[in-house]
Structure 1
Amino acid sequence: MRFPVNFGLLKRDKARPGLRFHHRIIGVLGLLAVAGVLQACSVVKLAYNQAPDLAYWYLDTYLDLTGEQSLQVKASLSQLQAWHRQTQLPVYITALQQLQQQLPSDTTAAAACAVAADVRSNLGAVAQQAESLAAGVAVMLQPGQLRHLAQKFAKTNAEAEDELQGNNGKTRQGKRYRQLLSRAESLYGTLDEPQRAVIARRLEQSRFDLRVLFAERQRRQRDTLQTLQPMAAGQVSPAQAKTALRGLVERTLNPLEPVYRRYLDQLGQENCQSFAELHNSTTPAQRGKAVETLRGYEQDFRILNARTL
């Protein structure tokens, strides 16, 4: 089950274009499939059914695909969606059913972290399925397209730096509070003062640092360009490209830098604790609302999965 990072079971992060580029290449269908947890049901179904088109648009923005590449990419994305619809949506349905049973009771940080482990597992499954498809497209890349990609990275990085420099710590903190509150209320309905206080206090104590994440984003971009370079130069076979892309995804999901890995582990534990504390502060009515919300998404995924029959 794909859940967002902040507070575990809240809502999709609307990341700026360019963030986690290779994450989106490999996992875009999986992300779109469950990103709608706590969004309008009609939006979930619409986004999922249009996922290949949305993914193609995203890739074309970054790679400026040729006509032949476009045909290959569109066919590959359609294949990936068909596999995902048939094999992964039933997993999401089961996960939603289990969560509905758990939500009326108090929870623990360990339970929230168990959900996060399932997230990583499902991302890995989608990545593995997409390896051959992605490799077939990667070996078609041309040097000019990598230059286009590098320029796109540079542009989005400059925009992100401007935003970081233009907003002081207090402004960023206020923005994050509003985002987290909105996400929580998408699950539980209107929050009262006790729950708002939990969010504010946990946010004040958080290790979350946009600058650390921005530095990792730049590292991933460099890794992406270096990995794709031999492919664009025609120096690797599809099998070699598949192996290289597998390594790229592995380094994305499990960063090699020990300091950053520790940071992610600490942040993940913090998010699990934050969600548990927030959930345990909610009222029976709010938990009932959360169950109702997830039941709606279970029904959505059932409808989407039925299209395979």
Structure 2
Amino acid sequence: MHDKSDALPGDFFAIPDIHVIRMQGRDAIAFAQAQFMNDVAALADGQWQWNGWLTPKGRVVALFAVLRVDGETLRLLLLDADPAGFVERLQRFVFRSKVTLAPEADVAVAGAFAAPGSARGAQASVNDDGATELDLGGVDEPRTLRIGAGPATIDPVAHGRWRALDLAHGLPRLEPSQLEQWTPQQLSLDRLRAFSVKKGCYPGQEIVARTHFLGQVKRGLARLHTGSATVSAGDEVTAASGSGRIVCSQGDEALAVLPLDPAPVDLQVGGTAARALPLLDGLAR
């Protein structure tokens, strides 16, 4: 295997760890509003946002993007988690709501390192071939996420670069060991405008709101450059200001939850020095 991508700029490659889930029905918007941590009701048709689902104790169960297709249809772009397991768990709370939940198993998700044709920011677009495109570009780093259309090239190197850019922008990619471990504030998801403290009740809302309004956020996300060292989620990070843990890593990029004041210095992971880098801007929606 070589470590050079075969994709040319603008070529689409498969992103197998993002799964599409359709929520449809008269109560789809209301159900999502009551369960998820961001203000789904604020979306207009064709708009999307970062969002997530929390435990009653305010820990992140899953992270995803929510795209409003129309007044009765949402599409969730589930990051990393098992779509069937997520749907089964969420289905327990449907009760009498008029909403159906189902993974769109036959829908391909692909990415490209190029700006989308007409999607910009939080506004998605639908192409002539029926594919939906989202703008996932940050400052000076254009990216397009495509939902639907034909199969894309399998390119592990390009896919790894995509994940590394997610981390550089402060978008955590959570493996199973990291689920239900962190609050939205510890993951600095306010940077992505991924949760609301004003919209009303949802699981974990009381914890999130109390932490926000009482100013109790003492730990947050730090971006680390690990060089040639191999680090894994759950590894301990030590710093002059206190210790923390790696949340996710890809190549030499890693995200860790650490004390934020003062800024972390003298970082080490497993006895190997690491360097703190600023999180990139531009992925908030």
If the length of structure 2 is used for normalisation, what is the TM-score?
A: 0.27
Task: Determine which structure has more spread, i.e. the larger CA radius of gyration.
Answer: 1
More strand by share: 2
More helix by share: 1
Greater RCO between the two (CA within 8 Å, min separation 6)?
A: 1
